[in-house]
């Protein structure tokens, strides 16, 4: 089957500054694909090029087998990174208008999705009266109101509380199960680690990693220990690097270190709540790739 | 519906419900009404409560009282005023027939009423002077002329001239300029706001730049037209509710149907040239104030035919007049001016309309490219050279 999205050697520079250099990747039908990298890496530029909001300087971009036309735009749903809606328009009017622009105004589906996102009691309120998080959920609904084949979500979790983050995650997983092709762009790499089939990692406009999450991780071996503890963690022999955040630590081991020795050392130092031998997190992999270690 | 139609409809309905729109649309006529009508109302109230009773002192012995009170001398007349028997009196001196001098006395300064007093005294004097003539002659003597100018052409045919002929083009020009000034605001705001509120990217993921801009020009243009139409209806209703004014206007206006049809065509097509320019300006500008400054250049250009209207009326077929009636920013007003004064060859009309339609298309096309270029630089105004570069590249 043909690719839903295909980017071949795309480059773009603004005022002589390269923002995206020679990027190539493709997204298969029904795939949940992660476009990940830090802020300013070029993710949004890639998405804008995909949607022909800006045009690449060189390279080829194909969506649904061809370049972008109005007919194809109708089959894509998009949540932009820069959120914005008409403040004085009511929720239901907003969804109807944005649906009509996709040639598919569907009031029933709009009400259904509002219900699912816990917003049906707000349907007649003006957008300006809603909280930021609610507005964001409205925009996510707007992106899928027309039941698109391809869904592009730029930073879908930013600004959401944990409850809503889970709500949106569940929605994405559900859409994935329905066979939609989904592109998630985010700098929160850990958020998408378990959701995405494959990822493309980008840094400063250059692609640095590309492939299935499992493959990428196994390439780095099981040299990482996830640790939850109480107490004070001091340096441990055999550990190359410690990523510490509160009562949680990610320990990257030197080659040849036995995890059992680490466990013994740790138990003497702190009270251990969790000890897991694993592949490194995407965050850690990214840092390693970027630092060239 | 085509997507630009959906956008036009949305823009129209969204903006027409704005508080600012309702406030300006109904507030401005109300303000004019109050500001202009209040003094008249106040004046009217003082006039109607007070009736004028006029007396006179005749030193020539030529005049008969009619409905005025005659006094033997000034002292008695003054007493009459002080006793409130009369409000005014006037003195006809002995040498009146040679000088025409009349002295009017009253206790109050009353500028508003002085005209009425003069009219009444004049009627009295004329009636007496023309004693023995028929009433018709007396009336005619009061208003001896009701004139109109005609122009002879080469073949000896005549055409009307004077106020009646230029009334229509001047009214057209005023209305046209007014529409452009008000609508340019809507369009500028509409486009700049879209950039500010960040809805743009969602819209562009659904429609092309061209559909977006075309829809905005049509939708917001219609908002401006609606406002002008409401003002016009309020104005006409007010004028017609005053029967004297209505009669004068209807008497003066003489418009041929073809000119009315052409005026509508020029109005609409000329209007959309400006509307598309405003959209383009909005695309470059980062704030609406900045946009208004840039837009000013174009609206002033549009006012040129009004500024040189005397020249066009005197020389409707001069090169400058013709040039102005082809240039898209000035052609609507210039052409209507020329049309109501002289015969304009049909091909000139067709060419100028074609230029208008083509420039609307061309300007939208250009604005789309500028729009695209400027969107790349959120919050930064593109320089002219950058705009040219992007327009060429796309």
Instruction: Report the pLDDT value the prediction gives residue B389, as an integer from 0 to 100.
Output: 67
Residue A149 pLDDT grade (very low, low, confident, very high; cuts 50, 70, 90): very high
Q: Pick the residue from chain A with its C-alpha nearest to B1.
A: A103
- Residue B90, classified by CB atoms within 10 Å of its CB into exposed (0-12), middle (13-18) or buried (19+), is buried
**What is the bridge-based pairing of β-strands B103-106 and B88-92?**
antiparallel
**Start-end ranges of CATH 3.40.190 in chain B?**
53-142
CB nearest A101 (choices: B18, B201, B203): B203
Residue B264 near chain A (CB below 8 Å): no
Instruction: Report the pLDDT value the prediction gives residue B381, as an integer from 0 to 100.
Output: 57
Instruction: Report the pLDDT value the prediction gives residue B296, as an integer from 0 to 100.
Output: 85
Instruction: Report the pLDDT value the prediction gives residue B379, as an integer from 0 to 100.
Output: 46
Instruction: Report the pLDDT value the prediction gives residue B123, as an integer from 0 to 100.
Output: 83
- Residue B234, classified by CB atoms within 10 Å of its CB into exposed (0-12), middle (13-18) or buried (19+), is middle
Query: CATH topology for B53-142?
Result: D-Maltodextrin-Binding Protein; domain 2 (3.40.190)
Residue B136 near chain A (CB below 8 Å): no
Residue B278 near chain A (CB below 8 Å): no
Which residues does chain A have within 8 Å of residue B377's beta carbon, measured at their own beta carbons?
Answer: 14
Instruction: Report the pLDDT value the prediction gives residue A244, as an integer from 0 to 100.
Output: 85
- The distance of A290 to chain B (nearest Cα, Å) reads 28
A153 pLDDT higher than 90: yes
Closest to A172 in 3D by CA, of A137, A200, A199, A201:
A137
- Give the best-scoring range by mean pLDDT among A26-40, B65-79, B336-350: A26-40
Q: Give per-residue pLDDT as tens, B175-205.
A: 888 888 777 777 887 777 777 777 888 888 8
Residue A158 pLDDT grade (very low, low, confident, very high; cuts 50, 70, 90): confident
The 3-class SS string of chain A reads CCCCEEEEEEEEEECCEEEEEEEEEEECCCCEEEEECCCCCCHHHHHHHHCCCCCCCEEEEEECCECCCHHHHCCEEEECCCCCCCCCCEHHHHHHHHHHCCCCCCHHHHHHHHHHCCCHHHCCCEHHHCCHHHHHHHHHHHHHCCCCCEEEEECCCCCCCHHHHHHHHHHHHHHHHCCCEEEEEECCHHHHCCCCCEEEEEECCEEEEEEEHHHHHHCCCCCEEEEEEECCCCCCCCEEEEEEECCEEEEEECCCCCHHHHHHHHHHHCEEEEEEEECCCHHHHHHHHHHCC
Residue B307 pLDDT grade (very low, low, confident, very high; cuts 50, 70, 90): confident
Q: Give per-residue pLDDT as tens, B249-265.
A: 666 566 677 788 888 88
Q: Give per-residue pLDDT as tens, B73-105.
A: 888 888 888 888 888 888 888 888 888 888 888
Residues of chain B numbered 6-25 and touching chain A (CB < 8 Å)? 6-7, 10, 14, 17-18
A28 pLDDT higher than 80: yes
Mean pLDDT, range A58-76, rounded to an integer = 86
Mean pLDDT, range A107-125, rounded to an integer = 90
**What is the bridge-based pairing of β-strands B150-152 and A239-245?**
unpaired
Mean pLDDT, range B37-43, rounded to an integer = 66
Mean pLDDT, range B333-355, rounded to an integer = 88
Take residue A291 and report the two structure tokens written for it: 């630092």
**Nearest-angstrom CA–CA distance, B24 and B20:** 6
Does residue B92 sit in helix, strand or coil?
strand
Q: Pick the residue from chain B with its C-alpha nearest to A95.
A: B202
On average, the pLDDT of chain B sits at 80
Contact A98 B202 (CB under 8 A): yes
Instruction: Report the pLDDT value the prediction gives residue B159, as an integer from 0 to 100.
Output: 60
ipTM: 0.80
**Which phi and psi angles does B68 have, rounded to 5°?**
-95, 160
**Nearest-angstrom CA–CA distance, A180 and B128:** 101
Mean pLDDT, range B161-166, rounded to an integer = 61
B117 pLDDT higher than 60: yes
Residue A48 CA from chain centroid, whole number: 16
Residue with tokens 């592949």: A279
Q: Pick the residue from chain A with its C-alpha nearest to B208.
A: A70
């Amino acid at each position: 089957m043909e690719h839903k999205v295909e980017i071949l050697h795309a480059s773009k520079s603004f005022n002589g500054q390269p923002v995206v250099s020679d990027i190539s990747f493709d997204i298969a039908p029904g795939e949940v694909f992660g476009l990940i990298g830090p802020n300013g890496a070029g993710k949004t530029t890639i998405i804008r090029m995909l949607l022909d909001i800006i045009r690449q300087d060189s390279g080829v971009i194909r969506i649904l087998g061809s370049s972008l036309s109005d007919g194809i735009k109708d089959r894509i749903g998009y949540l932009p990174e820069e959120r914005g809606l008409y403040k004085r328009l009511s929720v239901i009017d907003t969804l109807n208008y944005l649906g009509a622009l996709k040639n598919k105004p569907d009031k029933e589906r709009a009400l259904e999705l509002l219900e699912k996102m816990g917003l049906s009691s707000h349907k007649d309120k003006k957008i300006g009266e809603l909280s930021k998080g609610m507005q964001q959920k409205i925009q996510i609904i707007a992106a899928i109101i027309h039941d698109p084949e391809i869904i592009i979500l730029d930073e879908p979790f930013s600004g959401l509380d944990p409850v809503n983050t889970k709500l949106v995650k569940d929605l994405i997983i559900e859409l994935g199960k329905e066979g939609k092709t989904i592109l998630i762009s985010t700098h929160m790499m850990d958020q998408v680690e378990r959701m995405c089939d494959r990822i493309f990692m980008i840094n400063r406009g250059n692609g640095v990693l590309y492939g299935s999450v499992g493959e990428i991780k196994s390439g780095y071996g099981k040299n990482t220990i996830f640790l939850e503890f109480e107490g004070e963690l001091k340096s441990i022999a055999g550990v190359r690097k410690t990523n510490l955040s509160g009562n949680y630590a990610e320990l990257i081991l030197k080659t040849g270190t036995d995890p059992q020795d680490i466990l013994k050392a740790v138990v003497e130092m702190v009270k251990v709540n969790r000890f897991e031998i694993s592949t490194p997190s995407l965050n850690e992999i990214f840092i390693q790739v970027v630092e060239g270690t | 519906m085509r997507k630009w139609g959906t956008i036009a409809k949305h823009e129209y309905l969204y903006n027409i419900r704005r508080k600012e729109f309702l406030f300006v649309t109904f507030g401005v006529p109300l303000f004019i009404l109050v500001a202009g009508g209040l003094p008249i109302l106040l004046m009217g109230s003082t006039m109607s409560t007070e009736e004028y009773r006029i007396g006179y002192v005749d030193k020539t012995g030529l005049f008969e009282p009619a409905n005025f009170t005659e006094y033997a001398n000034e002292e008695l007349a003054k007493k009459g005023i002080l006793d409130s028997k009369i409000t005014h009196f006037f003195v006809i001196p002995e040498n009146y027939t040679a000088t025409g001098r009349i002295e009017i006395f009253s206790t109050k300064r009353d500028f508003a009423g002085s005209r009425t007093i003069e009219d009444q005294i004049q009627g009295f004097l004329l009636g007496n002077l023309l004693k023995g003539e028929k009433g018709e002659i007396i009336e005619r003597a009061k208003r001896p002329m009701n004139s109109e100018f005609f122009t002879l052409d080469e073949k000896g045919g005549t055409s009307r001239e004077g106020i009646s002929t230029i009334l229509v083009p001047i009214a057209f020009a005023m209305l046209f300029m007014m529409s452009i000034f008000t609508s340019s605001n809507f369009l500028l705001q509409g486009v700049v706001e879209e950039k500010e509120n960040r809805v743009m990217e969602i819209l562009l993921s659904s429609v092309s730049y061209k559909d977006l801009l075309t829809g905005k020009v049509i939708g917001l243009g219609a908002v401006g037209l609606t406002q002008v139409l409401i003002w016009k209806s309020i104005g006409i209703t007010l004028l017609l509710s005053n029967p004297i004014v209505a009669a004068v206007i209807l008497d003066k206006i003489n418009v041929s149907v073809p000119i009315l049809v052409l005026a509508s065509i020029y109005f609409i097509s000329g209007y959309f040239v400006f509307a598309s320019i405003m959209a383009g300006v909005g695309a470059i500008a980062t704030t609406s104030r900045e946009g208004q400054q840039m837009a000013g250049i174009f609206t002033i250009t549009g006012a040129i035919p009004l500024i040189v209207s005397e020249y066009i009326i005197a020389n409707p077929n001069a090169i400058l007049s013709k040039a102005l009636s082809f240039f898209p920013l000035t052609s609507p007003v210039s052409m209507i001016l020329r049309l109501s004064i002289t015969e304009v060859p049909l091909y000139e009309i067709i060419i100028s309309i074609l230029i208008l339609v083509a420039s609307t298309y061309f300007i939208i096309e250009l604005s789309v490219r500028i729009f695209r270029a400027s969107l790349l630089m959120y919050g930064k105004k593109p320089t002219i050279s950058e705009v040219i570069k992007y327009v060429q590249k796309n």
